[in-house]
């Protein structure tokens, strides 16, 4: 197998790519203000200031939209956790440091606008939301756990388990949040929410492109090592919400109603990125890399089967629920 590059070597070799991509990002990113996306007219005081506290009747969001909004907002809220991991892996110097700061500020904007929208429109219970935020942020999140299955094996190359795993993880994660925000916008059934979430989704897409380009350059300078990191991440991928209150229940609702499901994960997130990196066309892997590629291919084949099974189950479940509603109505 080719020699593994150390963390420092990777940072140094990839620094020009980071710089080029920060500049590219600054040129195409659109500045926007959270207050422009919130219908302030709909707001009123809560009881502490002489108004009325939240009541579920006030919400115009469906259960699915509520679950998706809460999950997506808590994910944005947990930003300091991701900032810490990324800052640790990227260093705060040069283009890397500039990117970490800029990215953090943009992600924070997402949390601000979604919270303002939800509190003003009384879309979800603000007390429950605050409690969930406290729990979720106190737990924190370590994206490196996404590669936990292989940490033991990689321990001897501890240096390797950092930058490449991080950029691989965030590439998929940014694209996953893009899909999730966009579909949540549709599920809210409110043009104001839809516009806000489309705006956020456009940011997530640019974030994804930054990380995808870094990882793509990683393939060019260290093909085997980058493929190992990508395979670790794809085969252990978890959405960043894992560990937040009601994550499973909300995740099931979201998967069942097309906010983020296995098919979207496979076809709109994993495969387009792997194709962009030409993972299955490259001829610069050693035999070790070839073995990793076979492992990745086998995983994807299984994921396709799991997806079909999930969809059959979901269709049956939705049909049962529809029948029940019909019976109740008659």
User: Segment contacting Fe ion (CB under 5 A): 20-28, 183-191, 196-204, 286-294?
Assistant: 196-204
Q: By rule CB under 5 A, what count of residues binds Fe ion?
A: 5
Gap between the terminal Cα atoms of the chain: 68
Residue from the set 133, 136, 165, 207 that interacts with Fe ion by CB under 5 A: 207
User: Segment contacting Fe ion (CB under 5 A): 59-67, 120-128, 170-178, 313-321?
Assistant: 170-178
The answer to the question of residue 165 lying near Fe ion (CB under 5 A) is no
Report the nearest approach of Fe ion to the CB of residue 173 (Å): 8
Residue from the set 11, 69, 71, 107 that interacts with Fe ion by CB under 5 A: 107
> Residue 316 class from Cβ within 10 Å (0-12 exposed, 13-18 middle, 19+ buried)?
exposed
Residue 142 backbone phi and psi in degrees, to 5: -120, 100
31: Cβ contacts below 8 Å, ≥ 6 apart: none
Nearer to Fe ion, 6 or 108 (CB): 108
- Spacing of C-alpha 262 from chain mean position: 14
Q: How far apart are CA 171 and CA 297, in angstroms?
A: 19
> Residue 287 class from Cβ within 10 Å (0-12 exposed, 13-18 middle, 19+ buried)?
exposed
Q: How far apart are CA 111 and CA 29, in angstroms?
A: 18
Nearer to Fe ion, 122 or 181 (CB): 181
Nearer to Fe ion, 160 or 203 (CB): 203
Give the angle 115-248-125 at the CA atoms, nearest 5°.
30
Report the nearest approach of Fe ion to the CB of residue 25 (Å): 11
Q: Are 241 and 247 in contact (CB under 8 A)?
A: yes
Residue from the set 77, 116, 204, 232 that interacts with Fe ion by CB under 5 A: 204
The answer to the question of residue 77 lying near Fe ion (CB under 5 A) is no
Q: Are 147 and 233 in contact (CB under 8 A)?
A: yes
Report the nearest approach of Fe ion to the CB of residue 181 (Å): 8
Report the nearest approach of Fe ion to the CB of residue 206 (Å): 8
Residue whose C-alpha is closest to residue 267's, from 317, 308, 232: 308
Nearer to Fe ion, 207 or 265 (CB): 207
The answer to the question of residue 136 lying near Fe ion (CB under 5 A) is no
Report the nearest approach of Fe ion to the CB of residue 310 (Å): 26
Report the nearest approach of Fe ion to the CB of residue 207 (Å): 4
Report the nearest approach of Fe ion to the CB of residue 120 (Å): 20
Residues binding Fe ion (CB under 5 A): 107, 110, 174, 204, 207
């Amino acid at each position: 197998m080719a020699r593994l590059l150390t963390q420092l070597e990777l940072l140094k070799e990839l620094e020009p790519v980071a710089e080029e991509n920060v500049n590219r990002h600054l040129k195409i990113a659109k500045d926007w203000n959270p207050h422009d996306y919130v219908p302030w007219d709909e707001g009123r005081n809560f009881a502490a200031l002489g108004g009325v506290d939240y009541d579920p009747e006030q919400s115009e969001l469906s259960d699915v939209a509520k679950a998706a909004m809460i999950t997506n907002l808590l994910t944005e809220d947990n930003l300091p956790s991701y900032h810490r991991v990324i800052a640790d892996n990227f260093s705060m110097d040069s283009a890397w440091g500039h990117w970490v700061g800029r990215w953090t500020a943009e992600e924070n904007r997402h949390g601000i606008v979604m919270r303002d929208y939800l509190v003003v429109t009384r879309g979800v219970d603000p007390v429950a939301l605050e409690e969930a935020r406290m729990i979720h942020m106190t737990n924190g999140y370590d994206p490196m756990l996404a590669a936990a299955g292989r940490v033991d094996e990689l321990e001897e190359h501890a240096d390797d388990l950092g930058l490449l795993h991080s950029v691989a993880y965030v590439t998929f994660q940014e694209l996953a949040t893009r899909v999730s925000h966009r579909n949540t916008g549709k599920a809210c059934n409110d043009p104001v929410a839809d516009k806000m979430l489309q705006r956020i989704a456009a940011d997530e897409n640019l974030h994804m492109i930054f990380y995808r380009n870094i990882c793509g350059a990683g393939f060019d300078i260290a093909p085997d090592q980058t493929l190992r990191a990508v395979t670790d991440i794809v085969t252990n991928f978890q959405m960043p919400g894992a560990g937040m209150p009601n994550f499973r229940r909300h995740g099931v609702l979201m998967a069942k109603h097309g906010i983020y499901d296995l098919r979207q994960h496979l076809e709109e997130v994993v495969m387009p990125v792997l194709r962009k990196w030409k993972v299955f066309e490259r001829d610069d892997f050693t035999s070790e890399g070839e073995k990793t590629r076979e492992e990745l291919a086998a995983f994807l084949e299984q994921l396709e089967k799991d997806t079909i099974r999930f969809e059959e189950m979901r269709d049956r479940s939705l049909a049962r629920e529809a029948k029940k509603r019909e019976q109740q109505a008659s």
